[in-house]
Homo-oligomer: A and B are copies of this chain.
Amino acid sequence: MRRTIGIQEVDDIALGAAVLGTGGGGDPYIGKLMAQEAIHEHGPVELLTVDEMGDDEWSVAIAMMGAPTVMVEKMPGGEECVQAYKAVQSFLGKPVNYIYSIEAGGINSTIPITLAARLRLPLLDLDGMGRAFPEIQMVTHNLYGITATPFTMADEKGNSAVLSTIDNRWMETFARGIAVNMGATAHIACYAATGAQQREAAVHGTMSLAEKIGRTIREARAAHTDPIAAIQQVTGAFVVFHGKLVDVQRRTVAGFARGEAILDGIGVNSGSRMKIQFQNENLMAEKDGEIVISVPDLITMVEEDTGEPITTEQLRYGFRVKVLGIPSHPHWRTEAGIKVVGPRYFGYEADFVPVEQRFG
């Protein structure tokens, strides 16, 4: 079934992707406006499932890379992602006729829509994470041996780079350095993949899932029912904590927004304390000193009444939030997946325990 993304769908996708974005992926607001402006000018974007793509046809992921704290201060112009896209096509020497999103999250779910609208190319209903993660190699495609090369970068000043590396971990190193020098954020195009590769390696249905989450929240708000219960229904999320934000530490280092948030329990969690650590995205939550949920499972803070997801750069003292835990895609729960994005990769001395085992 062919579907299109119009103005309303962008609203819903931006909202739903922010739930999947686990605090990262940048401010959804700016990205949403850009996508809606592009659709207004060029018409709705066609959303295709992976089955509608030929085995040997090519797609490419379009995103912004860097610290979301800086992204919100740099309004992207739009030309940079066109340049990054064209550079991949030129380097690959093949037509690239499908656009996809590398991760679910504010700006990185809507930038591919913007580009697809401008180039009048279809968008694929999938992504490379089913959530957001901070590093370049943290893409399910990487687990299936798909290279991020050619990896192209462009900034708003007119600088650009094309990188080719022996593995995707090296790509993270090189690209991060350039992103820092480009002013902490860069527009990127990468992980060119064929239809056959997308069928095997991608997280399927992410765009329509994001849209469904957003629509469900919107409808719950309109009907004055509980938006958080609505999110739970669509995503299988668990409410792992209810608390008030009493402290936030945040610093932009080496191209990332790193920090932690401290929540004092409310209601059923009165007397407890939760600490959430993040690197662009929320990585790990400790309740009273014990890790209760960690990567690769999703940790998202939503405002207690509206269900509005809160990005790490929006965290402010006094926010009253519910912390949601959402099971990650099965690709991430494999041995290979845990090695790339599990708690130990991020420096936590703990094994991954699926959220449903603790809260189910």
Residues of A within 8 A of B (CB): 157-166, 170, 173-174, 177-178, 180-181
Copy count, this protein chain:
2
User: Is the CB–CB distance between A177 and B173 below 8 Å?
Assistant: no
User: Is the CB–CB distance between A180 and B177 below 8 Å?
Assistant: yes
Residues from chain B with a CB closer than 8 A to the CB of A177 are 177-178, 180-181
Q: What 6 A-B pairs come out closest when comparing CB atoms?
A: A177-B177, A162-B162, A158-B166, A159-B165, A160-B164, A161-B163
A55 to B353, CA, bound (A): 68
A245 to B355, CA, bound (A): 66
Q: Is the interface of A mostly helix, strand, loop or mixed?
A: mixed
User: Is the CB–CB distance between B159 and A162 below 8 Å?
Assistant: no
User: Is the CB–CB distance between A160 and B163 below 8 Å?
Assistant: yes
A160 to B180, CA, bound (A): 18
Nearest Cβ on chain B to A236's Cβ, whole angstroms = 40
Nearest Cβ on chain B to A160's Cβ, whole angstroms = 5
A178 to B173, CA, bound (A): 9
In addition to A161-B164, A177-B181, A178-B178, 13 A-B residue pairs with Cβ atoms within 8 Å of each other are A157-B166, A157-B170, A158-B166, A159-B163, A159-B170, A160-B164, A160-B165, A161-B162, A161-B174, A162-B163, A174-B178, A174-B181, A177-B180
A165 to B158, CA, bound (A): 7
Nearest Cβ on chain B to A65's Cβ, whole angstroms = 14
A162 to B153, CA, bound (A): 10
A56 to B118, CA, bound (A): 37
Which residue from B159, B160, B173 sits with its C-beta under 8 Å from A181? B173
Nearest Cβ on chain B to A148's Cβ, whole angstroms = 12
Nearest Cβ on chain B to A175's Cβ, whole angstroms = 10
Residues from chain B with a CB closer than 8 A to the CB of A166 are 157-159
Nearest Cβ on chain B to A54's Cβ, whole angstroms = 28
Nearest Cβ on chain B to A168's Cβ, whole angstroms = 12
Nearest Cβ on chain B to A254's Cβ, whole angstroms = 12
Nearest Cβ on chain B to A179's Cβ, whole angstroms = 10
A181 to B174, CA, bound (A): 6
Residues from chain B with a CB closer than 8 A to the CB of A164 are 159-161
Nearest Cβ on chain B to A198's Cβ, whole angstroms = 26
Residues from chain B with a CB closer than 8 A to the CB of A157 are 166, 170
Write 8 A-B pairs (CB below 8 A) sorted by A numbering.
A159-B165, A160-B165, A161-B161, A161-B162, A161-B164, A177-B177, A177-B181, A178-B178
